[in-house]
Chains A and B, each alone.
Chain A
Amino acid sequence: MVEERNLLEEMEVEPWEPIETKLVRGTLIAGIISMIVLAVLVHVFVLSHY
């Protein structure tokens, strides 16, 4: 456990890089678009039957 404790205590936190912004923003936008488009599809083809 000493090794594990040290791992966390000595963690070097890198500065936030532009590629992380790109990754997070891209995934989030893809998530929001997917949610809207897929929700419409599910409503039209599935949930309208209930």
Chain B
Amino acid sequence: MAEERRWYTGMFSTEDWWALWIGIFFVFLGLIAAATQIDLTGWIVKFGNWVDPVTDKAVFGFHAAHSSLMSPVASLIVSYIVFTIATAIGAYAMKWNLRDYLIAWTIIFVLTTIAYIIGQYAYISAPSTKWEKLGIDWGLQLGGAYYIIALIIGLAIGNFAPQNFKEFMHKAARPEWFIKIAIVCLGAKLGLKAIEATGFAMHLLFAGVCATIAAYLLFWPLAYTTARKVFKLSREWSACLASGISICGVSAAIATAGAIRARPIVPVMISALIVVFAVIELIVLPGVLVSIPFWFNEPIAAGASLGLTIKTDGADAAAGAILDELMRAKAAAMGIYWDEGWILASAIMTKIWIDMFIGVWAFVLAVVWVYHIERKPGEKVDKMEIWFRFPKFVIGYFIAMFTIMGLGLGNVISFENLEFGLVPVEGALRKFFFMLTFTSIGIVTDFRALKQEGLGRLAVAYAFILAVIIIPLGWFIAWLFHHGMMPPTVSP
């Protein structure tokens, strides 16, 4: 299976590795800034609520993360140049068509910026706690509206643009890549938070891994049996569908297809369903969770439930970000101020543990298929498959988290200095890559896929398993392992 591969194979040629390199590059830039007090990250463009298009500090609400460093427009231009160079190096190394990538990337960057500006209009998204400061006396308080606007713009392209343009945009619309870069930067955020709340971060880590192990071991056999017995699907379809819906979406479906030697078209068709359903869940689940009092009283468990039930990294992180905003806005209206990012961290934590099990599960299935189902004498399954299937960006997430925690808790760099260098990375840069993810998810999601002949039966099976097994069981397990955990509170 992996005769000609080495442990380092793909290090400079896969999206997964390049998410790690780019994410770690920005995190270490922040660490150097923290250690030297040279402002290496203050140029990153940051978007905030706005009423007047131009003020002393910002233009349409955006400005440099350290606003004294440069003007808002210069910050936007420098951010565009640096993000473009960083991702273009990756695109070049992965042998993408660089010219097409740069054009499509630029369009996505501009659309994302527009969505961000519109969504940050104070009357749309400013929480009531900011109204006085912004000089307004009413607002819709739609926290996270900018994410939905970016998604709608992307979906408009993905579903209504001419086929040629849509296909062209796919050259830079890489939601999984963008979100993995953002998740590495989120590791920096969790590292910073853990310095102040070490116990809570470690509890979240432990509860997350335990919930994940229990969840996927229950999801997979139930999904597989339902696909085989109820929907009468063959083994290759059932195994890929069960892995996709139980473990980690597209990557798991592809890994399983490789492990059981399914035909290439099988994971391709299942992946189309996974992406479409993940977007539906992203739109529906945060609103549902926040409106159910039970889940509003269990915000960390609600976040974890997203990680267990939404099957792409991009959609899970995106839904986590929306849930974080919605939950905090609702709590703030009741006079409770939860620290930003913990509900999102909970959603990401369960998801990345699930991601890490892809390799192990692909290995188990390969062993079962080779030795028991296909029964090929003399053939062996290479244990290195586990490493090859391991999501490498997760390494970046933990390196960022534990390095920052270690430096902070060991007093090697003061907390204030760490904040100086890293807040622009874990805040402004991470959120911009989240936004790029939303725009890109929309672009690559074509709801017409559900209408395609033949896919209907699979879609019904997927929807049934999701609604009857994955979501109810995922909700129960998320509650079982996280109930009672609350985000730390902050002053308004």
Contacts and interface: CB of A to CB of B under 8 A. Distances in A.
Contacts of A23: 221, 224, 368
B214 A3 contact: no
**What is the interface residue range for chain B against chain A?**
35 or more
A12 B484 CA distance: 49
Contact of B373 (A6, A11, A19, A30): A19
A42 B210 contact: yes
Interface in A2-49: 3-9, 11-14, 16-17, 19-20, 23-25, 27-28, 30-32, 34-35, 38-39, 41-42, 45-47, 49
B372 interface: yes
Interface residues of A, number: 35
Contact of A42 (B207, B263, B458): B207
B292 interface: no
A35 B225 CA distance: 20
Interface stretch (B22-30, B128-136, B229-237, B424-432): B229-237
Nearest to A26: B221
B453 A35 contact: no
Contacts of B269: 4, 7
Given A38-B481, A42-B207, A7 B234 contact: no
Contacts of B237: 11
B228 interface: yes
Contact of B218 (A20, A31, A46, A47): A31
A46 B204 CA distance: 9
A4 B373 contact: no
A1 B214 CA distance: 38
Contacts, number: 100
Contacts of A25: 221
B484 A38 contact: no
A25 to B, nearest CB: 8
B360 interface: no
Contact of A45 (B206, B216, B484): B206
Interface in B195-217: 199, 203, 206-207, 210-211, 213-214, 216-217
6 contacts: A7-B265, A13-B234, A14-B234, A31-B217, A34-B213, A39-B481
Given A4-B455, A12-B234, 18 more contacts: A4-B452, A5-B454, A7-B269, A8-B454, A16-B229, A19-B373, A20-B224, A20-B235, A23-B221, A24-B225, A25-B221, A27-B221, A30-B217, A31-B218, A31-B221, A34-B213, A35-B214, A49-B199
Interface of B: 199, 203, 206-207, 210-211, 213-214, 216-218, 220-222, 224-225, 228-229, 232-235, 237, 263, 265-266, 269, 368, 372-373, 452-455, 457-458, 477, 480-486
Q: Which 5 A-B pairs have the closest CB atoms?
A: A31-B217, A5-B454, A35-B214, A31-B218, A38-B210
